[in-house]
Amino acid sequence: MSALVPLLVTLPLLGAAIALIFGRRRRIQVGVSIVTLTATLVIAAVLLNAINATGVPIAVSVGGWPIPFGIVLYVDRLAALLVVVSSVVLLAVLLFSVGQGAADGDDETPVSIFHPSYLILSAGIFNAFIAGDLFNLYVGFEILLVASYVLITLGSTESRIRTGVVYIVVSLVSSILFLSAIAAIYGALGTVNMVQLSQRMTELPQETQLVLHLLLLLAFSIKAAVFPLSFWLPDSYPTAPAPVTAVFAGLLTKVGVYAIIRTETEIFQDNDVNTLLLIVALATMIVGVLGAVAQAELKRILSFTLVSHIGYMIFGLAIATPAAVGATIYYIVHHIVVQTTLFLAVGLVERRAGSTSILKVKGLMRAAPLLAVLYFIPAINLGGLPPFSGFIGKYALLRRGRRRGHPADVRADRRGHHHLAPHPLRPDARVEPLVLEGEGRGRRG
C-alpha cells in the first residue's frame, strides 16, 4: 500500500510532461489530464479506505533515505481525505473547462500550456497535503505557486498581468518568510521533520518557540488569506478565467489553512496563541462580509466571502479542542466543494450574460432558470441555511466555541498550557505518525 503514496505526486508530474509533449494535440492533452486525475482519485480513495480500515497512517521515506535526510511522505486520514476531495474538484473543474472550451487559455500560444500547468498545480497541492516535513511542504507550495503564476495570467490581458504581478509578489514574500522560518527551526533543532519537531520543540525556551511559531503563522496566513494579509485575494482571483478562479478559490487558500492545522496541532502544542487566532478569525469574518456587501461584481463578492469563511476555519483552530478541529476539517471540505461550485456557476453566468455585474445582468432567472438554480443552491449552502452542509459546519463551530474551556475537551500540561488530547489528527494517540530511528511505532514503506 505504501508504494501508492508517491504516485499521488509523480502521476500528475508525469501527466504534465506528456501533455506538454503533445502540446499541439488538444484531444490527447485532454485525455491525458482526465486519465491522470482519475487515476490519482482512485489511488487516494484506496489509501483513505485502507487507513480507515487499519487506523494506521502510512509513512514513506522516499528513496530509502533515513530520517531526517530523506523526503518523508505521510498520509493519515486528514491528508487522504483532502487529496480525495481535491482530486474530485480538480477533475470536475477540468471537465468544466473542456466543456466550456477554455482549456487552452491563451489561443495565441502555439503550444497549449493550460493542461501541463494544471497538472503541475495538482501535483503541488497533493504534495503539500502529504508532506511529512516542513521543507517538503515548502516544495509543495512552490510547485503549486509556479503553476498558478502561469494559470492566473492566461490570455495575457492587461488586467491579468497586473493582478498576476501582485499575486506573484505577495506569494514570494510568503515563501521568503516560510523559508526563513524553516532555516531558523533547522538551526535551532537540527531537523524539519514534523514528528521530530513535535518531540524536540519543548527543548527550546518559550520565547524562542513563540518567535518560530509566529513566523510560520505569518507565512501560512498570507497563503490562507487571513486578515489583514488578505488584501491581495479580491483583486487577484476575479481576473483569471472561470475554471482557474474556481480552483484557486476552492483549493489554494485551503492548503494554507491545512498548513496552519499541522502547525497548531503537531509542532506547537505547548505554545498557546489561541487568543491571537481568535481575534484574527473574528476580524477576518467581519472584514470579508463588509467587503462583500460593498461589491457589485459577483466574482469580487465571492472573493470577499471566501475571506470571511477562512475566518470560520481559523476560529475552529483558535478554540483548540479535538471536536473543534474536527468541525474545522468538516468546514474545509464543505467550503472547497461549495466555493468551487459557485465560481463555476458565475463562469456560466458570465458566458451567458457577458458580465457578472449585478447592476448589468437582469432577467437571468427567466432566461436561464437552470443556471439560476445552479447558483442558488450553493449560495444558500454557503450562507448556512439548514439543512445544508454550511449550516451543519457553522453550527458545529459555534457550539464548540460556546463550550471552549470545558474540562472534557481540554487538559492542562505541567506548564499550565492547554493542548489537544488525544492528538486530533492521529487515529490512535498511541501510534506515532512516522517511524524514527529507535523511537515510536508506526507504519513505514
- Nearest partner of 92 among 256, 307, 297, 242, judged by Cα: 242
Tell me which of 3-7, 64-68, 77-81 is least confident: 64-68
C-alpha 188/C-alpha 184 separation (Å) is 6
- Nearest partner of 221 among 266, 165, 169, 263, judged by Cα: 263
Cell of 31: 485525455
- β-strand partners of 439: 436
Is the pLDDT assigned to residue 212 strictly greater than 50? Answer: yes
Q: Which one is predicted more confidently, 101 or 281?
A: 281
385: left (phi over 0), alpha (psi -120 to 50) or beta: beta
Cell of 303: 472573493
For residue 431, the model assigns a pLDDT of 32
In sequence order, what E strands does 20-157 have? Answer: 58-61, 72-75
Q: Are 40 and 11 in contact (CB under 8 A)?
A: yes
Task: Please give the average per-residue pLDDT across 37-56, as a whole number.
Answer: 92
Cβ density class 175-205: b for 16+ within 10 Å, e for less? bebbbebbeebeebbebbbbbbbbbbbeebe
Q: Are 249 and 303 in contact (CB under 8 A)?
A: yes
What DSSP string runs through 182-244?
HHHHHHHHS--BHHHHHHHGGGS-HHHHHHHHHHHHHHHHHHHT-TTS-TTHHHHGGGS-HHH
Cell of 17: 510532461
| Distance in Å from the first CA to the final CA of the chain | 8
Task: Please give the average per-residue pLDDT across 163-174, as a whole number.
Answer: 84
pTM for the structure as a whole: 0.85
Q: Are 15 and 54 in contact (CB under 8 A)?
A: no
Instruction: Name the pLDDT band for 333 (thresholds 50, 70, 90).
Output: very high
pLDDT per residue as tens digits for the range 228-265: 888 888 877 777 778 888 898 889 889 999 999 988 88
